[in-house]
């Protein structure tokens, strides 16, 4: 039976529970244990798919086509595992399941209540079988949130159901530093741990976010008020890169604390993957500047996986990455004159479209390495149709009906039955021989994750090929274009998919690795 580690948070949101969970998992992996990860979000949305990136950050997509919280990206990247729809569960999904069951009569006329029906459904999701020694499960939100109480009650029950030594509770808190008085305040941490205890959960370890290492007296004080030995109080100090956190936890004996709780053997872990990253970060290396032309820059996490994928590619190319954020609504050619490459990411809606089209045009005309992702591929096609092939009103039916639609919803043309919904998840792509795509992937068949509604018109294939743009990747049935590229260009390639969702700090992703290599060459 798998053992469970629950990560909760208090005081304020955005303390880094996802990275903490992934880092604890990485420590366990370094000692030879199989790790799985799950995220429970108390909010009432069924999933994050309809949430604006301006509010919630990016929507992460799993292989099986489920729209999830961005923390699943941390888990997949850190742990090198693939997660599914069973690993991201919201309060809305739980209540939907329970109420749907009630309508079907599954409860046989019983009064449906928060306990046991909702709590049992939450535990059912948590304990779905996986091939792992440990399941690390993050509870979203903060202790004290009204919508999160039933989730805390459920994990309290689970610890009682399967035995307290099969469950560990790790709680993230905050110890703010008051500059005027020169004091580090531990009271918020004390109150948060007490709030957790009021929900029936005694924390087994505290990770305290602080601007500096906690002193021994501070750890003793926190431990005394929170019913913990001082060695179980961990300093969650700020670092300049999240991949340094597993090493910071190792130095503070986090694995030993976990081992003591579960009765594991204490062995030396293999942390070579993180040593390699730390060396890369400290080395003096050349830098390439990537101009990212997007529109969600007001939210730091809106392009989280994309930023990570560029960083990973930097590791593989032994070069540091400088991302220049360029607002597509205010785009001008002056903004990209000093960059080594241009990347146009995905997005929805008409905001900033003209700027993205202009960015693709500048990259094409000036032989600047170009990478287009999802919408970034579509704007490249629109630009090519307008300025190379002379179809001045070429556009997407997403943006206007008064156009020659080179991009449209496939179901409208009976090419695929999308049902008016997004194409989500992993789909195969056959790569054309002798193309840049084949050189990039070193394969003739790949699988990439999608999240889009509109597709390029395949009827354009022969027309654009005559002018130098080829479709170098298609769905196996030949109906859906997946990759386009330009023949006479050092690197101009775009995909209808989101390769950033499969990038890893340990290997990077072929598309990003090749793009950064082209930027370095430039």
pLDDT tens per residue, range 405-463:
898 886 444 434 443 478 899 999 999 999 999 999 999 999 999 999 899 999 999 99
pLDDT digits (tens, 9 = 90+) for 258-302: 999 999 998 888 999 999 999 999 999 999 999 999 988 887 788
Q: Does the pLDDT of residue 466 top 60, yes or no?
A: yes
Q: In this predicted structure, what is the pLDDT of residue 409?
A: 81
DSSP state of 114: I
Q: In this predicted structure, what is the pLDDT of residue 416?
A: 41
Q: Does the pLDDT of residue 16 top 70, yes or no?
A: yes
Question: How many angstroms separate the Cα of 175 from the Cα of each of 235, 242, 339, 410, 443?
Answer: 10, 20, 40, 53, 51
Q: In this predicted structure, what is the pLDDT of residue 262?
A: 97
What's the mean per-residue pLDDT of the chain? 93
Provide mean pLDDT across the span 248-255.
96
Are 117 and 96 spatial neighbours (Cβ–Cβ below 8 Å)?
no
Are 261 and 204 spatial neighbours (Cβ–Cβ below 8 Å)?
yes
Q: Which of 58, 153, 398, 500 is catalytic?
A: 500
374 is catalytic: yes
Q: Which of 36, 450, 498, 509 is catalytic?
A: 498
The set of residues, in sequence order, having a beta carbon less than 8 Å from that of 286 and lying 6+ positions away, is: 319, 320, 520
For residue 471, the cross-strand partners are 484
500 is catalytic: yes
DSSP state of 112: P
CATH code that applies to domain 284-521: 3.40.50.880
Nearest partner of 288 among 334, 338, 238, 249, judged by Cα: 338
CA 464, CA 487: separation in Å to the nearest integer? 11
The residue ranges of every structural domain in the chain are 3-277, 284-521
pLDDT digits (tens, 9 = 90+) for 320-354: 999 999 999 999 999 999 999 999 999 888 888 99
CATH 3.40.50.300 assigned to 3-277: yes
- Under the banding of pLDDT at 50, 70 and 90, the label for residue 314 is very high
Do 3-277 and 284-521 have matching folds?
Answer: yes
Neighbours of 76 (CB within 10 A): 23
Are 345 and 303 spatial neighbours (Cβ–Cβ below 8 Å)?
yes
Per the listing, tokens 């540091």 go with 320
Q: Which of 137, 226, 374, 429 is catalytic?
A: 374
């Amino acid at each position: 039976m798998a053992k469970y580690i629950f990560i909760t948070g208090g005081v304020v949101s955005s303390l880094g529970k996802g990275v903490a969970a992934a880092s604890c998992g990485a420590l366990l992996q370094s000692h030879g244990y199989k790790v799985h990860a799950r995220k429970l979000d108390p909010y009432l949305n069924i999933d994050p798919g309809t949430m604006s990136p301006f509010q919630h950050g990016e929507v992460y997509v799993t292989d099986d086509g489920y729209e999830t919280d961005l923390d699943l990206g941390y888990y997949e990247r850190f742990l090198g595992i693939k997660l599914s729809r069973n690993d991201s569960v919201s309060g809305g999904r739980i209540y939907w399941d329970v109420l749907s069951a009630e309508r079907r009569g599954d409860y046989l006329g019983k009064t449906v209540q928060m306990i046991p029906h909702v709590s049992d459904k939450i535990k059912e999701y948590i304990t779905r079988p996986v091939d792992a020694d440990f399941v690390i499960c993050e509870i979203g939100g903060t202790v004290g949130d009204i919508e999160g109480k039933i989730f805390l009650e459920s994990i309290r029950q689970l610890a009682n159901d399967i035995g307290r030594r099969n469950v560990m509770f790790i709680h993230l808190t905050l110890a703010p530093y008051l500059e005027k008085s020169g004091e580090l305040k531990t009271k918020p941490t004390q109150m948060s741990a007490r709030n957790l205890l009021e929900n029936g959960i005694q924390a087994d370890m505290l990770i305290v976010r602080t601007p500096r290492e906690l002193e021994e007296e501070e750890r003793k004080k926190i431990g005394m008020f929170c019913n913990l030995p001082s060695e179980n109080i961990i300093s969650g100090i700020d670092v300049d890169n999240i991949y340094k956190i597993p090493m910071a936890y190792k130095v503070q004996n986090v694995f030993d604390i976990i081992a003591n709780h579960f009765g594991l053997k204490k062995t030396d872990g293999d942390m070579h993957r993180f040593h390699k990253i730390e060396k890369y970060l400290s080395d003096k290396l050349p830098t390439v500047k990537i101009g990212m032309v997007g529109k969600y820059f007001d939210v730091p996490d809106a392009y989280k996986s994309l930023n990570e994928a560029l960083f990973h590619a930097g590791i593989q190319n032994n070069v540091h990455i400088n991302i220049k954020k360029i607002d597509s609504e205010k785009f001008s050619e002056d903004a990209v004159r000093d960059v080594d490459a241009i990347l146009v990411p995905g997005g929805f809606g008409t905001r900033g479209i003209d700027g993205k089209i202009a960015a693709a045009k500048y990259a094409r005309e000036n032989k600047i390495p170009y990478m287009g992702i999802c919408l970034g591929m579509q704007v490249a096609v629109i630009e090519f149709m307008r300025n190379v092939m002379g179809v001045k009103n070429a556009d997407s039916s997403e943006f206007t009906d008064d156009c020659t639609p080179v991009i449209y919803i496939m179901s409208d043309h009976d090419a695929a039955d999308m049902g008016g919904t997004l194409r989500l998840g992993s789909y195969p792509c056959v790569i054309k021989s002798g193309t840049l795509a084949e050189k990039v992937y070193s394969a003739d068949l790949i699988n990439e994750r999608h999240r889009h509604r509109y597709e390029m018109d395949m009827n354009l294939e022969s027309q654009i090929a005559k002018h130098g743009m080829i479709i170098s990747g298609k769905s196996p049935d030949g109906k859906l274009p997946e990759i386009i590229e330009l023949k006479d260009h050092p690197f101009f390639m775009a995909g209808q998919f989101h390769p950033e969702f499969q990038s890893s700090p340990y290997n990077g992703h072929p598309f990003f690795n090749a793009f950064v290599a082209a930027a370095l060459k430039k």
